[in-house]
Amino acid sequence: MGKLKGKTAIVGIGEVPTGRYHERAAIVCAIESCRQAILDAGIKKDEIDFIIPTGSMYSSPYNTEMCTSRIVEELGLARKSTANFQVFSGGSSTGNILKTAAGLIATGLAKNVLCVHSDKLATGISAQGGIDLFSTAGISAEWEVPFGMHYSAIAALTMQRFMFETGTTAEQLASVCVSNRKWAELNPNAMHRKPITVEEVMASKMLSEPLHAKESNMLADGGSAFIITSAERARDLTDKPVYLLGEGSLVTHHVFSQDTDLTRLGFVEAGQAAYKEAGLTPEDMDIAELYDSYAVYQLIALEALGLCGRGESGEYVQSGHTWPGGELPMTTNGGMLSQGHTGAGGSFAILVETVRQLMGKAGERQVPGARFAIETSTGGTYMDSHAAIFGNIIP
């Protein structure tokens, strides 16, 4: 038995729709998501003893409010909660929050931890402001910014080498967007729900070759939250706790151009650690909730996590195996390519969706009989790779 296997569980989730909402403040998304998560868990709000807000990127003052306990006070938890602090590592924030919260609970330091994210990347900043924000955030000001580096280029550089080494085709990469969109069509919280074809993706504007506009995430406003507690408390609260069974991660670089294997990143090591702790194998996974700020990262994860053979992920997705009704449903909320990119919230939304599926609350897109799911996240310039395995039973 590993250090964390089956010791903690997620018992409540909350989420507001993702999209462009000029009139909706980020704090509204945060409070609404927290309230939903608390009601979903059926827990008394005063039992929340730790609050972990992750980082918000659109506004430094708002981020500071979250760091300085605004949520605690808004929820009426002042003089009740023990601690409020930020855990933030960009897109991999949920991976690190899981480690932090589960570790605190397993050692008895925390009882019920509320984790929350909200951001306003669609309407809180201008379009060029978004490009400029993401041409500096986490990109080395000494070694990369002077060469015009930005996130589309980072994804394109990754795609180019992945295609070179694995033989994956442009059409196969485009088919990842189709798979995600098929799920988003069934997700009322997603930003983009109209059906899309490989031809439409291929015909969309070329950003940095070989990356098309429709293979990129869409910046969005949104928020979500979840509550994690001990396995014992979880069984009191619900008949379907979603247990954390295993997790693993690896930091591979800070400066993007220093990574020595862009075609795998750290997902091989992250996956091996997670499977080992859970005592499960890739074949046991009913769902793959894979982080997708760009299409290529889902293919990298499919292969590095052993869900597909090397060089086989593109054809696998193209053949429809990851679609609704397929043998390995993937990124079932539509991911950042369809639900939208809310900063650290991209991985929050994917984690919340993992839990939703395993709780059996995914509505039209529910994967029947799902027991085990593997979830991934990666942050900054894909500096770290996180994998976590959840189950509604402890194997």
Partner 1 sequence: MDTSTKPLPSVNSWTKPFWQGVREEKLMIQKCTECGQPIFYPRMCCPFCFSDQIEWMEASGRGRIYTYTIVRSNAPSSFIADMPFVIAVVRLEEGVQMLSNIVDCEPTAVYCEMPVEVTFEKLSDEFTLPKFRPAQA
- Which parts of this chain interact with partner 1 (CB under 8 A)? 128, 131-132, 135, 140-150, 152-153, 156-158, 160-161, 164, 205-211, 213, 255-258, 260, 262
Tell the smallest beta-carbon distance from residue 342 to partner 1 (Å). Answer: 19
Give 262 or 265: the residue with its C-beta nearer to partner 1: 262
Tell the smallest beta-carbon distance from residue 28 to partner 1 (Å). Answer: 30
Per DSSP bridges, beta strands 221-230 and 112-120 are: antiparallel
Tell the smallest beta-carbon distance from residue 3 to partner 1 (Å). Answer: 28
Give 4 or 157: the residue with its C-beta nearer to partner 1: 157
Tell the smallest beta-carbon distance from residue 253 to partner 1 (Å). Answer: 10
Tell the smallest beta-carbon distance from residue 218 to partner 1 (Å). Answer: 13
Give 142 or 283: the residue with its C-beta nearer to partner 1: 142
Give 143 or 395: the residue with its C-beta nearer to partner 1: 143
Give 88 or 151: the residue with its C-beta nearer to partner 1: 151
Tell the smallest beta-carbon distance from residue 151 to partner 1 (Å). Answer: 9
CA distance 100 to 79: 22
Tell the smallest beta-carbon distance from residue 35 to partner 1 (Å). Answer: 37
Kindly give, in sequence order, each residue whose CB lies less than 8 Å from that of residue 30, ignoring residues fewer than 6 positions away: 53, 66, 71, 74, 116, 117, 118, 223, 225
CA distance 137 to 114: 27
DSSP states of 339-389 as a string?
Answer: T-B-TTHHHHHHHHHHHHHHHT--GGG--TT--EEEEEEEETTTTEEEEEE
Tell the smallest beta-carbon distance from residue 133 to partner 1 (Å). Answer: 10
CA count, 13 A, side-chain hemisphere, 206: 4
Tell the smallest beta-carbon distance from residue 116 to partner 1 (Å). Answer: 31
CA distance 111 to 103: 11
Task: Return the closest-CA partner of residue 5 out of 271, 276, 370.
Answer: 276
Q: Name the CA dihedral angle for 369, 330, 390, 93, rounded to a multiple of 10 degrees.
A: -150
Task: Return the closest-CA partner of residue 217 out of 118, 307, 317, 345.
Answer: 345
Angle made by CA atoms 72, 35, 103, in degrees to the nearest 5? 60
What DSSP designation does 331 have? S
Give 69 or 135: the residue with its C-beta nearer to partner 1: 135
Tell the smallest beta-carbon distance from residue 121 to partner 1 (Å). Answer: 15
Give 68 or 160: the residue with its C-beta nearer to partner 1: 160
CA distance 335 to 340: 7
Residue indicated by tokens 């194998």: 281
Task: Return the closest-CA partner of residue 215 out of 165, 175, 187, 184.
Answer: 175
Give 82 or 258: the residue with its C-beta nearer to partner 1: 258
Q: What are phi and psi of 49, to 5 degrees?
A: -105, -25
Give 183 or 382: the residue with its C-beta nearer to partner 1: 382
Give 53 or 266: the residue with its C-beta nearer to partner 1: 266
CA distance 144 to 180: 31
